[in-house]
Every structure is written in C-alpha cells, then in structure tokens.
Amino acid sequence: MAPSHLSIDLNSDLGESFGAWTLGDDEAIMPSVSSASIACGFHAGDPTVIRRTLGLAKRHGVAVGAHPSYPDLAGFGRRDMALAPEEVTDVVMYQVAVLAGMAAAEGLRLRHVKPHGALYNRAARDESTAAAIARAVALIDRDLALFGLAGSMLLDAGRREGLRVASEAFADRGYEPDGRLRARHLPGALVTDADQVVARVMGLLEDRSIAAVDGSRLRLDADTICVHGDTPGAAELARALRAGLEARGVRIAPPHGK
C-alpha cells in the first residue's frame, strides 16, 4: 500500500477554445485535475475564454497557470518558430502578465507557467530558449513555478533563475528507452487503459521510474502528470486516473503545496 505522504499533481492544458470555436471539454476535465495551464491568446484562448476558464478553475479549487506559446493562432502553436531569445522573453512576459492579472481579478493567484507546443519542445533541448522563458517568468513573478519536460533544459534554466520547477511526465504516452516520447504514429505511443495509466503513475511515485516501450525501466522524476483534455475519452481517463490514485492513498495537489 502507498504511504500516505505520496502526492502528485495532475495538470491539463485548458482554455484552448477561441471565439466561436470550442476545443476540449474543460467542464468535464477540470474536476479531475489539480493544476490548469490556461492558454493566453497566442495559440488559443481569448479574453472571454480566459475569464471563463479562470472562473471554472476557481469553482473547482484548481491551481491556475499560464500556458504561453509562440504567436501562431493558425498553427495552434505547434509549429517551431525561430524567435530571437529576447523575443521569446517578451512574448512570454506578455502572456504571463495577462494570466496573472486576470487571475488576480478573479481572486486567484497565478501559480505556474507551462510553455505550450513547439515552444515547450524547443525549450526542452535549446538552452537559449529555455533561459529566455525562465527569465520572463522570473521578471513577472519569482514565486511562479516553471513546469517543463522531465529532464529538460527548461527545468535547468528555471533552477538557475531561482524558480521552483516541476518535472512533467506523460503517463498515457509511451517512452523510448532514451527518455523521448514515442512518436504518435508508432505502436505503443498511447496508453489508453486507465488501470495501466494508474500503475505507471504509481511506478513514478514509488520507484521514480517508468517502463519504456521495450520493457526496460526508465528513471524519471515526475512532479506533475499531464492529463490530455482534447481527445475522445479524455475526461473519463482523467476521472479514472484520479480515482485510481486516490484509492491508492495518493494525494492530488499542485506541486509546491497550496
């Protein structure tokens, strides 16, 4: 049985609707997570969607974060863009400022920043982008936590800025033996069975490791588990994951306490 001190954050990327377009089922996902990373208007989200998502998070007692992106609405922030590091700092500052100010207006305190899509991926492996993001976060508020891929340069950059960081793992995604996420078109890329996902998170909590697609054990620190909100069955998987973890004595909470 899991010791009672086991605790993990479940985070989801929310508020990714825009204008007349809806994406994901935020109402269904929100009750299952402890942290919400909210789009800031650069890849998704608009002022009205942001306010609505903050209100929803507040109702469910979910910690809120900013989910900044490259400025690419048409590409949903998934296309890598060659911004200069200073531009990265500026666009991240802008987006974090929006969420911090609008959260405060809702009576909430912004808790974390998690870069989105192509910016997240580049920040994992490109030191200057990672440093530019960490600097932006520190300039806006040194109390913000920085979420990044477990083992990524973004976490190193955050630590160097004196920020608290949270290592993110993907319990419903297959890992290669070298730690990369398995490409989505390959077999084993997705884990859709809730029991298996629960077991994988328990492994992360108890052994700080996860099974790679070849069966080997991969060492992996995880402070927060990404829960996808935009795929069919996402809400059910999230509910089952939370229930399964709580049944094993795990507390679901933001990474650095309330």
Binding site for a copy of itself (CB under 8 A): 17-23, 41, 44, 46-48, 50-51, 71-76, 78-83, 86-87, 90-91, 93-94, 96-102, 104-105, 118, 139-140
Token reading at 243: 């229930």
Least separation in angstroms between CB 188 and a copy of itself: 24
Report the amino acid identity of residue 82.
A
Closest distance of CB 126 from a copy of itself, Å: 13
Q: How far is the CB of 24 from a copy of itself (least distance, A)?
A: 10
How far apart are CB 194 and a copy of itself at their closest, in Å? 26
Measured from the CB atom, is 22 or 196 closer to a copy of itself?
22
Residue closer to a copy of itself by CB (options 36, 225) is 36
Instruction: Give min distance, CB of 147 to a copy of itself, in A.
Output: 19
As given in the structure block, the two tokens for residue 156 are 């190193």
Q: How far is the CB of 107 from a copy of itself (least distance, A)?
A: 10
**Closer of 65 and 174 to a copy of itself (Cβ):** 65
Q: Concatenated DSSP letters for 20-60?
A: TB--S-HHHHGGG-SEEEEE-SSSS--HHHHHHHHHHHHHT
Query: 203 or 229: whose CB is closer to a copy of itself?
Result: 229
Q: Which is nearer to a copy of itself, 11 or 53 (CB)?
A: 53
The residue (of 39 and 169) whose beta carbon lies closer to a copy of itself is 39
CB-based burial, 1-37: b 16+ in 10 Å, e otherwise:
eeeeeebbbbbbbbbbbbeeeebbebeebbebbbbbb
User: Which amino acid is located at 127 in the chain?
Assistant: E
Give every CB contact of residue 42 below 8 A, 6+ residues apart in sequence.
Answer: 68, 69, 70, 71, 72, 73, 77, 91, 95
Cross-strand bridge partners of residue 190: 173
Amino acid at position 229, single letter:
G
